[in-house]
Amino acid sequence: MDEKLKTAPHRQPQYPVDPLFPNRWSSRAMSGAHVSRETLMTLFEAAHWAPSSFNNQPWRFVYALRGSEAWPRFFEMLTPMNKLWCANAGALIVMASKNTFDHNGKPSITHSFDTGAAWMSLALQAGMLGLTAHGLQGFDYGAAIDAVGLPDGYSVESMCAIGHPGSPDVLPEDMRAREHPSGRKAVAEVVFEGRFPVSP
């Protein structure tokens, strides 16, 4: 059994799955070490193989490497709490999606859903490389549109921080207590056969 799973009993799968899935978690403790552009491209390569309706591939990723000219613009969009730990990230990424289909210009109902699939692929690839990938919604969505020059017809979905794992000691004390893999609801709470259950 994978060593990480041995130390996280609340992450024991109910059914057989590859350890890749329960081992993925959103750590905030990052070392501040450099993340190369080439490494980011590997993450984006994984993301772009995600499935999408009509193969529209609506996801768009705009990134800033730590120390780059773009970094302050991305960093300033974050909430004060997220700035505390994202200061040690190696890259910040704005994730957006195209709202319409390329082939006919009509609205794509699943553009957000499809972009979420691409994000998961990115996050899993990051974990396979020993990196931390932490998605976040704690930022100014309106400022993100301006900061990355997002055209009309696109929606900001989320941001994420990419970094090398660091010691929890770099985090504020209240964050350190949460620096462990979270549990999950039982499968039976979210999966139903035939019909959604009637609420009590």
**Measured between alpha carbons, how far is 90 from 95 in angstroms, rounded to an integer?**
16
Position 8 confidence tier, pLDDT thresholds 50, 70, 90? low
**For residues 32 and 13, is the Cβ–Cβ distance under 8 A?**
no
> What is the structure's pLDDT at 198?
85
Q: What is the DSSP string of 41-96?
A: HHHHHHHTTS--GGG---EEEEEEETTSTTHHHHHHTB-HHHHHHHTT-SEEEEEE
Tell me the average pLDDT of the chain.
93
DSSP class of 110: T
Residues ≥6 apart with Cβ < 8 Å to 88:
29, 30, 31, 32, 163, 166, 170
DSSP summary character for residue 102: T
Question: In the chain, what are the domains?
Answer: 43-160 (3.40.109.10)
71 vs 170 pLDDT, higher one: 71
The mean per-residue pLDDT over the stretch 43-72 comes to 98
| C-beta of residue 29 within 8 angstroms of C-beta of residue 168 | yes
Per-residue pLDDT, averaged over 84-101, amounts to: 98
If you average pLDDT over residues 132-147, what whole number do you get?
Answer: 97
In angstroms, the CA 90 to CA 132 distance is 10
Tokens matching residue 189: 């709470």
> In the predicted model, is pLDDT for residue 199 greater than 80?
no
Q: What is the pLDDT of residue 4?
A: 45
Q: In angstroms, how far is CA 92 from the centroid of its own chain?
A: 10
Residue identified by tokens 């009309």 is 152
Q: Does residue 44 surpass a pLDDT of 70?
A: yes
pLDDT at 2 over 60: no
Give the pLDDT confidence of 99-113 residue by residue, as tens digits.
999 999 999 999 999
Tell me, what's the pLDDT at 135?
98
pLDDT classification of 200: cutoffs 50, 70, 90:
low
Residue labelled with tokens 């985090």: 171
| pLDDT for residue 10 | 66
Asked if 161 contacts 77 with a C-beta cutoff of 8 angstroms, the reply is no
Round to whole Å and give the CA distance between 35 and 4. 23
